[in-house]
Amino acid sequence: MSETDSLLRQQEWRIIDQSSVGPQFPALESFAMDDTLCASVGSGRSTAVARAWVHHQTIVLGIQDTKLPFLKEGINYLDKHDFKAIVRNSGGLAVVLDEGVLNVSLVFPESERKIEINRGYDAMWELIRRMFSDFPVSIEAKEIVGSYCPGSYDLSIDGRKFAGISQRRIRNGVAVQIYICVNGSGAQRAELVKGFYQTAKKQVETKFTYPDITPSVMASLTELLGVKLTVQDVMLRFLNVLKEHSGKIFSDSLSAQEWPLYEGYLTRVVERNNKVFDALEEK
């Protein structure tokens, strides 16, 4: 991809940094936030947005995870390990969020021409490669079998996954989202998800194939690069790359026009979650 064709090159990047809000910041708010920004960017009310966010002790389940035969037992297992389960409003499977995992969303307008799905994924892959270009490593994008939430754009170094990318599209806005395991143990996070699936599925045959997790294929960047990294270290690298690809970056929060939109999306996300968990209580 040529430099001029890169989605990272935007006239302006609007930065919304929620990476240090703390443990009182519930993950459901993040999904409502990205939907709001998608709609806002897609309608032309906002320039392209880069949002960073961190959530504590949360397992984000995909829609398929809610169909596990012993889901309630699986959620109890997570509770015992001090992790709260929520359900996101898009595809994919269970992922771990904690204070060592940085999430980044890039929200692009699709008004001028359609952004192909792979082009969105490639933009995020390019961002991560540029962020760590000073390290003598190759960051690959391919499915890492045995990882949690496996996909064709798993990011890995030497066959060990440290990040996964997803996409969401609303009203001419495209949000490309990534979780980056910055520090801590990738294998420990994977053990937690493995235990969840073992508890929630047991030996039952299911139509959908859930991942058979091999914890050793997951790692954090700190483990892979041999350098102690913090979320704020990675934030600085992230902002520096965006600066190089923009005439201007500026820090911002939701506008007065976006707040009502956000409240509407949050209500929907919360209601969807309540529906899943209320159904479990009735079983």
Query: Catalytic: which of 39, 101, 149, 217?
Result: 149
Domain enclosing residue 111, as ranges: 10-282
Range scoring the smallest mean pLDDT among 12-21, 56-65, 108-117, 165-174: 108-117
Q: Which two tokens stand for residue 231?
A: 């979320």
Reference 239, options 5, 11, 13; nearest CA is 13
Which pTM value belongs to this model?
0.94
* CATH code of the domain containing 184: 3.30.930.10
- What single letter denotes the amino acid at residue 179? Y
Nearest to 83 by CA among 97, 101, 93: 97
In a domain, 1, yes or no: no
In a domain, 119, yes or no: yes
Beta carbons of 101 and 54 less than 8 angstroms apart: yes
Q: Is residue 5 part of a domain?
A: no
Q: How is residue 121 annotated by DSSP? A: H
Residue 162 resides in a domain: yes
Report if residue 62 sits inside a domain: yes
Indicate whether 3 belongs to any domain.
Answer: no
Judged against a pLDDT cut of 70, whether residue 184 lies above it is answered with yes
- pLDDT for residue 247: 81
Can 38 be counted among the known catalytic residues? no
Structure tokens at 102: 């940085």
Give the model's pLDDT for residue 82. Answer: 97
User: What is the number of structural domains in the chain?
Assistant: 1
Contact predicate 121/127, CB 8 Å: no
Q: What contacts 150, CB < 8 A, 6 or more positions away?
A: 93, 143, 144, 211
Query: Residue 228 burial (CB < 10 Å; 0-12/13-18/19+)?
Result: exposed
CA distance 87 to 94: 9
Specify if 84 maps to a domain. Answer: yes
Distance CA 26, CA 132 (A): 29
pLDDT (tens digit per residue) in 5-26 = 689 999 999 999 999 998 889 9
Torsion angle of the four alpha carbons 137, 141, 145, 151, in this order, in degrees rounded to the nearest 10: 150
For the stretch 134-162, pLDDT in tens is 999 999 999 999 999 999 999 999 999 99
User: Does residue 73 lie within any of the structural domains?
Assistant: yes
